[in-house]
Amino acid sequence: MSKDRLIIFDTTLRDGEQSPGASMTKDEKLRIARALERMRVDVIEAGFPIASQGDFDAVQAIAEAIKDSVVCGLARATDMDIDRAGEAVKAANAPRIHTFIATSPIHMEKKLRMQPDEVVAAAIRAVKRARQYTDDVDFSPEDAGRSDIDFLCRVVEETIKAGATTINIPDTVGYNLPNQYAGLIRALIERVPNSDKAIFSTHCHNDLGLAVANSLEAVLAGARQVECTINGLGERAGNAALEEVVMTVRTRQDIFGCDTNLDTTQIMNCSRLVSNITGFAVQRNKAIVGANAFAHESGIHQDGVIKHRETYEIMRAEDVGWSSNKLVLGKLSGRNAFRKRLQELGVEFESEETLNSVFQNFKTLADKKDEIFDEDLVALATESQLEAENESIKLVAMKVHSETGETPEATVTLSIDGVEQTSTAHGDGQVDATFKAIEAVAKSESKLELYSVNSITGGTDAQGEVSVRLKYDGRVVNGQGADTDIVIASARAYINALNKLRINQEKAHPQLSSV
Ligand code: KIV
Ligand code: ZN
């Protein structure tokens, strides 16, 4: 018996970006979308086009760039939202519109202030309008997990009649238990007369830590699309983690009547990219993508794995892309080997000029550091992309000094819109002094919300990868920087965030405002 296809709908760029602090620029979203396409994700929810001009532009750019995955835009059930989403995904090879309206009593009464009949009418109208732009329309009754089943059956039947091809059932507040959520999906498939005309989809939030379990149980009950995010990023406690859903289905083919089309060896690349861009570190013991996910510490386990891998391993680390932590290139490696390895890691250069400049940085790094790993190469490429994206504030020079018994001091020269300025500041440590010196020149008045350093590889000569989150006037941005000197990496990350603060715009949240 041939297995059904399980559609993977990735919403890292939409629900993932709704995580407080996870905002991304258009270029960052494009890089993630390309990595998702490389991993053969079926549908990429690229954003919420009505939210801001920046969101619209990002969805449109992704629609133009992505060829192999469906590109989806989110829209509330209003004409304006749908027209904006339709316009944004127009250029895609395979465009989809995802429209939603809340159906739970609490949301209809308190948030929408609409009667159930009005909600049904708005849902039908929205789906019909979306069908004017594309044949691929996904409808979500928001807060389905707390909706009345009879009402839900009515909404689902009507929206399928209106042309919805996918019915997504959100457990918006992460309230359901696995058997309850699966029961909901099963009941809808059984009770809605035209349910065979649509694919049923899961969308689970992780408030009780059940998002993946709920999604999987629903797949066993007949759902054939899972909405999920890389590293489980998402609103509040996040969404179902893509890597956990995909690897569970792949590993337990004895249980699941379906499988995905994903190239799972790309999982680590996607995980690192999303973590690096958003500044959301992956916990060490996180399933599949955490640093310890395949590490065996106890002697008994190590002995068992050496004798026969399957004694303690149910998956191969290589199958999710964990093969990378090995020496790949050295000081004497040529430009072609460098380009080829980065291509294998999914990094493409816009021009030969960019390749040359990153290759020069690679040579400089190879002089400082004996062993260069895949992670170093990706960090180098990321650095060059950051520089290309954000030119208005640049680090020209910096000098830091610390000594026992003395207050650390930093002198930083920045070029802002082509004008160089220098400032000296003191702080609790070298990084603190550096940030104060930068701020004295940049005068951003932003608040530092997060500072984190991660060693890209092992050893004291490793590059430090720094994430900085800044907030100003309600807007939040993430900056990244990498260098073997963590104070320089920190300065770069701070400056990267300042540049983003200059370009990022205010945007609306899809679920805070009513239709
Ligand atoms: O959680 C939710 O209900 C959503 C909808 C917009 C699908 O994200
Ligand atoms: Zn959601």
Q: Which atom of ligand 1 is nearest to the CA of 140?
A: 7
As given in the structure block, the two tokens for residue 508 are: 């609306």
Distance 285 CA to ligand 2 centre (A): 25
From the CB of 140, is ligand 1 less than 6 Å away? yes
From the CB of 510, is ligand 1 less than 6 Å away? yes
State the pTM of this model: 0.88
From the CB of 338, is ligand 1 less than 6 Å away? no
List the chain residues with pLDDT less than 70.
1-2, 296-299, 301-302, 323-328, 385-390, 504-506, 513-515
pLDDT score recorded for residue 317 = 92
**Nearest Cα to Cα of residue 98 among 121, 77, 80, 79:** 77
Q: Which atom of ligand 1 is nearest to the CA of 170?
A: 3
Write the CA distances from 251 to 124, 248, 307, integer angstroms. 39, 5, 21
Residue 506: CB partners within 8 Å, gap ≥ 6?
52, 474, 475
What is the SS3 assignment for 17?
A: helix
**Nearest Cα to Cα of residue 511 among 169, 215, 23, 172:** 172
Contact 361, 380 (CB under 8 A): yes
* Best residue for ligand 1 mutational test, from 138, 166, 172 (most atoms within 8 Å of Cβ): 172
pLDDT score recorded for residue 296 = 67
What is the SS3 assignment for 3?
A: coil
From the CB of 176, is ligand 1 less than 6 Å away? no
pLDDT score recorded for residue 491 = 97
From the CB of 170, is ligand 1 less than 6 Å away? yes
User: Considering every ligand atom, which ligand is closest to the CA of 510?
Assistant: 1
Distance 239 CA to ligand 1 centre (A): 10
From the CB of 203, is ligand 1 less than 6 Å away? yes
**Nearest Cα to Cα of residue 65 among 98, 43, 33, 107:** 33
Cα 438 from Cα 447, distance rounded (Å): 13
pLDDT score recorded for residue 324 = 46
pLDDT score recorded for residue 67 = 97
Pairing relationship of beta strands 70-76 and 95-102 according to DSSP bridges: parallel
Distance 510 CA to ligand 1 centre (A): 8
Q: Which atom of ligand 1 is nearest to the CA of 74?
A: 6
From the CB of 178, is ligand 1 less than 6 Å away? no
User: Considering every ligand atom, which ligand is closest to the CA of 233?
Assistant: 2
Say if residue 350 is exposed, middle or buried (CB neighbours under 10 Å; 0-12, 13-18, 19+): exposed
Contact 354, 339 (CB under 8 A): no
pLDDT per residue over 251-309, tens digit each? 999 999 999 999 999 999 999 999 988 989 899 999 999 988 987 666 676 677 777 77
Distance 101 CA to ligand 1 centre (A): 9
Write the CA distances from 514 to 77, 105, 142, 300, 507, integer angstroms. 10, 14, 12, 57, 15
From the CB of 56, is ligand 1 less than 6 Å away? no
Nearest CA to ligand 1 atom 8: 15
Nearest CA to ligand 1 atom 1: 172
pLDDT score recorded for residue 514 = 54
From the CB of 500, is ligand 1 less than 6 Å away? no
Say if residue 65 is exposed, middle or buried (CB neighbours under 10 Å; 0-12, 13-18, 19+): middle
As given in the structure block, the two tokens for residue 233 are: 């990023």
pLDDT per residue over 337-370, tens digit each? 888 888 777 777 778 888 888 888 888 888 887 7
pLDDT score recorded for residue 463 = 85
In the sheet that holds 464-472, the strands lie side by side as 447-455, 464-472, 475-483
Q: Which atom of ligand 1 is nearest to the CA of 227?
A: 7
Residue 277: CB partners within 8 Å, gap ≥ 6?
24, 28, 31, 32, 478, 480
As given in the structure block, the two tokens for residue 197 are: 């005309």
**Nearest Cα to Cα of residue 379 among 309, 453, 290, 318:** 453
Residue 285: CB partners within 8 Å, gap ≥ 6?
292, 293
Contact 118, 101 (CB under 8 A): no
From the CB of 238, is ligand 1 less than 6 Å away? no
pLDDT score recorded for residue 173 = 98
Q: Which atom of ligand 1 is nearest to the CA of 205?
A: 1
pLDDT score recorded for residue 7 = 98
pLDDT score recorded for residue 352 = 86
DSSP bridge pairs for 264: none
Residue 490: CB partners within 8 Å, gap ≥ 6?
431, 434, 435, 451, 453, 464, 466, 468, 481
pLDDT score recorded for residue 325 = 45
User: Considering every ligand atom, which ligand is closest to the CA of 240?
Assistant: 2
Nearest CA to ligand 1 atom 5: 142
